[in-house]
Structure 1
Amino acid sequence: MFLLNTHPDHRSPLDLIDADTLGLEASEGVERHLRYRDNNAETPLVSLPGLAAATGVAAIHVKDEGQRLGLGSFKALGGAYAVIRLVLEEATARLGQVVEMERLHSPAVRQIAQGMTFACATDGNHGRSVAQGAQLVGARSAIFVHAGVSDERVAAIARFGAEMIRVDGSYDDSVKEATRISEERGWTIVSDTSWPGYERIPGLVMQGYTALIREALRQIPEPPSHVFVQAGVGGIAAAVAGHLAIAFGERRPLFIVVDPARAACLFETARAGHPVVVPHGEPTIMAMLECYEPSRIAWRILSRAADAFMTVDEEDAVSVMRRLADPAAGDPAIVSGESGGVGLAGFLRAAASSEMKAALSMGPQSRILVISTEGATDAGRYRELVGVSPTEVLSRGAA
């Protein structure tokens, strides 16, 4: 499914609060914060000239988030960043002086953090980031996971000392349960989705994501003409689209949001023109994107900054994992998890459709940017779907 953005707000300026959250000054602050983080390094921007030639465009670049901060996902930039910001703010309030990042591990700040508990619901990657952030500052974390989260992903979160709480039902059910219990116990919810009355913390999570698009714009030889980004609740798509709108203004690239067909909450929201909850059906293999209700902040941004919305099917997600693992001649192999290559899957579907190509003005001069949002965060599942292990893929080098 494919549709152009016909919302009345399309291409209008972002709300001031969103422009402040995702703007240049805020993103520079995120990068200053990252300089104090262990394992901090720019993730690679990978060129795929072979695939570009095969699909009739000038260039394809993939921002590979598979090694971000040792967590294997772009989510490492969001949850942990928000936790650390919240601890510094609490310390500022209690100590009566501005507490900056360089004092994060001081005894006074650590004592304050030890009395805080951070909670969230997760499909896997966001919870890992929140748990890591809590461990870094000496706080507690409680992570709520729904029935579809694999045991391997649960174990990857628990290794950061998190209390793991299983919830029957879907991701959205786990969000509700995390909120209920946190309100009862005085825990701080660090969610990557927003709802009426709860926007600032999800805004901080999204603010953390702006680091990856700033890196990509420094790394890319020429600005992209088209950007395809996958969406669950919409946080990463909105963060990237919003930052691009601010950075480029009227010259910004076309931005396309890609949903799993089985959990297309942003596509259906775009079709309706307002946030909608889509019904739960058969689970999607794109587990990190299996969300049935969009973030209100994300939709507010995407209604302005996205140009089109589309869906991809289950076989598209698996096909792109295999294509990245066994690439076109001359292209390097990339390990991308079940949800990681969905933006590229959207581009490939659009490139194969004359109608979509025309609607997006996509042709031989187009320069495509996508984000591989995760590596093999469940190595067993990756091997099952791709047929080889992540280690074997990385050992291949260029095709």
Structure 2
Amino acid sequence: MNDKIMWALNQQYHLQDNLEQVVPLLHNFTEEQVNRVERFHRTYKKFENTPLRSLDTLASFVGVHHIFVKDESYRFGLNAFKVLGGIYAIGQYVARMIDKNIDELSFEELKSPAVKEQLGDVTFISTTDGNHGRGVAWAARELGFKARIYMPAGSAEERLQNIKNEGAYAEITSMNYDDTVRYTSNLAKDNDWVIIQDTMWEGYEEIPLWIMQGYTTLVKEVVEQLDKAPTHVFLQAGVGSFAGAVVAYLTQSYAQEITFVLVEPYAANCYYESFKQGDAHFVTVGGDMQTIMAGLACGEPNPMAWEILKTYTKIGMCCHESVAATGMRVLGNAIGTDTRIIAGESGAAPFGCFYELMTNDHYAELRHTLQIDKQSRVLFFNTEGNTDVENYRNIMWHGDYAK
């Protein structure tokens, strides 16, 4: 493909019918609910806010007012944000099983021998490209339970080992992500295991919602760290659970309208294809979906996330591998007084798209459509650090995926 970025205007954007239908979903992400999630997370004794970096020199270089990057590579020492969703979902599940309200419990209380005695042996199972599974494995180990994690074909051996290091059984399958999710779901049914997955299907809605709610702690931190609303937010798509949670909370946090942009790899671009189609229903993509942006290699949207994102997202983008690699290099080689940010492939993809559209006149029309200018305050989320160290080094040192 000649274009490093392809983009589609979302024809469902702000349609009145969609706005009316999405309001009940937003009730799951109110300030009150987000405060409840944050309260639980903060009962973990090592909880700390992750930094929000302001890249002022880079902002001046590309021609915007501010660039902000929420750096989740510091979260819980796990190098990614995903643990926030997994631990809240598992916490909710355990609280439900012992007939308690999670609002009355702390992380430490859930680790108690009394809770373990009440529940007995529980095995949590999940599909992951790396970060989500590591978070689930970490949470299960911390609370004294078992975890089984399955990864799609092509997953990095280092990410597999990181999950095993958390005490979980883990393996890489011969299937793509979405087929591995189906396989994992069947295993859970056959063995009476508890599936902790961040996408939904009919009959499996509650735990994925808890995961989405778990992500809002980091968004609340951003709102508290910013002095005013961003004008633009670039978000990783994947199944859309993270992006949906961010959009749901930010939309309710600020009176002014924010322009949201979704970013995916070419190989797994279900939101881009859905926006391009222009219908109220999403489309899915299949195949092996091999991409360095492993955390975004998902071909089927989360239905709840889709309803939120089709209503509030203006543009869907999909990008070449080299775009994510460029994002990694630019963030990792700070200029002026800016702070260096170590971003993995999925963490850097939205920034790579932004950098490309701001520095390549081929995308002047896209800049105009997004109304990005010298007054823009642009927000990004570095969702992962160098979770595949060898690949990170090859990109940063040896120029892999430079074209």
With normalisation by structure 2, the TM-score equals 0.91
1:360 maps to 370
Of residues 184-193 and 99-108 in structure 1, the stretch that sits farther from structure 2 once superposed is: 99-108
Q: What corresponds to 1:327 in structure 2?
A: 334
Deviation of the 1:266 alpha carbon: 1.2
Tell me what 1:372 maps to. Answer: 382
Match of 1:258 among 260, 263, 267: 263
Contact 1:14 1:242 in 2 (8 A): no
- Tell me: CA distance 1:237–1:282, structure 2 relative to 1, closer, same or farther (3 Å): closer
- In the alignment, is the contact (CA less than 8 A) between 1:113 and 1:137 conserved in 2? no
* CA distance in structure 1 between the aligned counterparts of 2:130 and 2:20, rounded to whole angstroms: 33
Structure 1: gaps of 5 or more residues: 389-399
Aligned mate of 1:314, from 317, 321, 325 = 321
Instruction: Report the number of matched residues.
Output: 385
1:244 to 241, 244, 250: 250
Classify 1:97/1:2 alpha carbon distance in 2 versus 1 (closer, same or farther; 3 Å): closer
In the TM superposition, 1:12-27 aligns within 5 A as: 12-13=19-20, 15-27=22-34
Q: Is the 8 A contact 2:124 2:140 kept in 1?
A: yes
2:116 partner letter: R
**CA shift in 2, pair 1:311/1:98, >3 Å:** closer
Q: Secondary structure at the match of 1:63?
A: strand
CA distance in 2, matches of 1:350, 1:97: 44
In 1, Cα distance between equivalents of 2:310 and 2:370: 17
Other-structure match for 1:73: 80
Match of 1:363, as an amino acid? D
Q: TM-score, normalised by structure 1?
A: 0.92
- The amino acid that maps onto 2:387 is T
Describe the SS at the equivalent of 2:234: strand
Provide closer, same or farther for how the CA distance between residues 90 and 309 of structure 1 changes in structure 2, counting only shifts above 3 A.
same
Aligned to 2:3: none
Give, in whole Å, the separation in 2 of the partners of 1:98 and 1:222.
30
How far apart are 1:13 and its partner, in Å? Answer: 4.9
Identical pairs, percent: 37
Query: Would the aligned equivalents of 1:61 and 1:370 in 2 still touch at CA under 8 Å?
Result: yes
What is residue 138 of structure 2 aligned with on the other side? 132
Q: How far does residue 281 in structure 1 lie from its aligned partner after superposition?
A: 5.2
Q: How much has 1:45 moved relative to structure 2?
A: 0.4
1:225 aligned onto 2:231: yes
- Deviation string, structure 1 residues 153-193 (Cα, Å, up to 9, x no partner): 11111112111133212111210110011000111111011
Q: 2:85 touches 2:214 (CA, 8 Å); kept in 1?
A: yes
1:183 aligned to which of 189, 214, 221: 189
Cα deviations by residue, 1:311-345 (Å, 9 ceiling, x for unpaired): 12111011111111112222111100111111212
CA-atom RMSD in angstroms: 1.9
Please name the residue that 2:7 is paired with: 2
Match of 1:170 among 144, 153, 176: 176
- Corresponding residue for 1:392? none
Task: Tell me if the contact between 1:258 and 1:310 (Cα under 8 Å) persists in the aligned partners.
Answer: yes
- Alignment deviations for residues 182-210 of structure 1 (CA, whole Å, 9 cap, x no partner): 00011111101112221111111110111
Distance 1:189 1:282, change over 3 A: closer
Q: Would you say the 8 A contact 2:282–2:306 is kept in 1?
A: yes
